[in-house]
Amino acid sequence: MKRFSLLLASAAAMIAAPLAAETIAITGGKLVIGDGSAPIEGGTVVISNDRVVAAGANVSIPSNARRIDATGKWVTPGVFAGFSRIGLVEVGAVSQTNDMNSSGSPFSAALDVQYAINPFASAVAVNRAAGVTRAVVSPSTSGSIFGGYGAIVDLGQDEDAITQARSFQFVELGETGHSRAGGSRSASHVQFRAMLEEARTYARNPAAFDSDLLKASDAKALLPVINGSTKLLVHVESANDILKVLDLREDFPALKMILVGVNEGWRVAGHIAAAGVPVLASALSDLPYGFEDLAATQSNIGRMKAAGVKVAIGMINDRDAHQLRYSTQYAGNLVALNKVPRATGLSWNEAFAAISSVPAEIMGVGGKLGSLKSGRQADVVIWDGDPLELSTQVENVLIDGVEQSLSNRQIRLRDRYRNPAPGALPKAYDY
């Protein structure tokens, strides 16, 4: 009986798990490489195990490949969400399901978001079904301007979500950061410099380190930020704050900064471009949420791109734990913006790259993710139409070459109530 139970358990696990990777050829579709190039009519993607072997117009198909006919459909790389909190929050108002920040913790920079990411969160399946395959996941901040380490994750239907742990460090230097540091810009910048200097002190003599500002583990976590081996994502919105952040590299020249949010970036786009600092920008902010973004405009990304800034779409503080699927809508609106007089948007090719290859490149993983170039991880989505159109639906998602289930709680609830009939409904906890 025990052996029989074990066999049943094994069978159940096999049913629940995604299918194993294999050689697959996706043929006949309108193929988007994701690198900013134009779509290819009747293109082919060949996948072997977890990698793209080839993608283009005249691609040889291995004899052992399983073919997927995408005629009349679009084939693209999966959406790469440039900034998110997915997997950290189930219900924002319920503290037990909200791991965005650690308000009661004595630690700051040493916090590591990988331990909080829940691959079984309902939002993971919902966004996977909408074509999102990878995401940058960042902590938020509470008692300090530093939130800790962030990670890059996949949205596959398995328990191992982490693509790259400790991918970056996150710091608040906008209005939120000023509040965390004591209520002024002077305080936040002094705290930033002081914490990095304390980390330098720790590096010189770890055994003798004693600080009222930083625990030893926090100081140790900031060392790779100082030497440039770990990226620093800086949330900042106002033009003035952006300039002050760029000036920080005078004291810490090795900092590899990435600006996040940047609603007033267009006002100082030339300075950002000259500094060579990339941006993960909110896409369609056009109303001031505070004094730091009075000059917000939907043309922000388009104007920064025109000025030479490397910019992708990020969704900080914009339903960033649940609605990464809005990325395609935002990209589509940036395309439509070109039809608005005196507005500046992106071309279709640029807009799709802003949610695929460009955020991957900004995060330092463009050689592995974000496009359908040879050798990249096989994250592929098949759509029934233009992926930047609101009415388009996802038909198939592959992550690391493995076909994924598109079922999720929202779909099951829809089906549950679509045709109500007399009698008892399924129990709510089954969903």
Domain assignment of residue 272, yes or no:
yes
Where is average pLDDT lowest: 101-110, 124-133, 302-311? 101-110
Pick from 108, 225, 216: which is nearest to 234 by CA? 225
Separation of CA 392 from chain center: 21
Domain assignment of residue 324, yes or no:
yes
Domain assignment of residue 15, yes or no:
no
Domain assignment of residue 392, yes or no:
no
pLDDT in tens, 230-268: 999 999 999 999 999 999 999 999 999 999 999 999 999
Domain assignment of residue 278, yes or no:
yes
Position 289 pLDDT exceeds 90: no
Domain assignment of residue 261, yes or no:
yes
Domain assignment of residue 44, yes or no:
no
Return the pLDDT at 1. Answer: 42
Return the pLDDT at 93. Answer: 86
Q: How far apart are CA 339 and CA 180, in angstroms?
A: 41
Q: How confident is the model over 364-388, as a mean pLDDT? A: 98
Q: How confident is the model over 136-157, as a mean pLDDT? A: 95
DSSP structure string for 226-255 = HTTSSEEEEEE-SHHHHHHHHHGGGT-TT-
Q: How confident is the model over 74-96, as a mean pLDDT? A: 94
Q: How far apart are CA 206 and CA 378, in angstroms?
A: 43
Query: For the chain, how many structural domains are there in total?
Result: 1
pLDDT in tens, 193-215: 999 999 999 999 999 999 989 99
Domain assignment of residue 237, yes or no:
yes
The alpha-helical segments, DSSP class H, found in 326-372 are 326-336, 348-353, 357-362
State the chain's mean pLDDT as an integer: 92
pLDDT in tens, 344-356: 999 999 999 999 9
Q: How far apart are CA 89 and CA 92, in angstroms?
A: 6
Q: How far apart are CA 234 and CA 204, in angstroms?
A: 26
- The answer to whether the CB of 400 falls within 8 A of the CB of 21 is yes
Task: Tell which wins on pLDDT, 94 or 350.
Answer: 350
Its domain, for residue 231, covers: 79-369
CATH number of 133's domain:
3.20.20.140
Return the pLDDT at 401. Answer: 96
pLDDT in tens, 12-25: 444 344 556 689 99
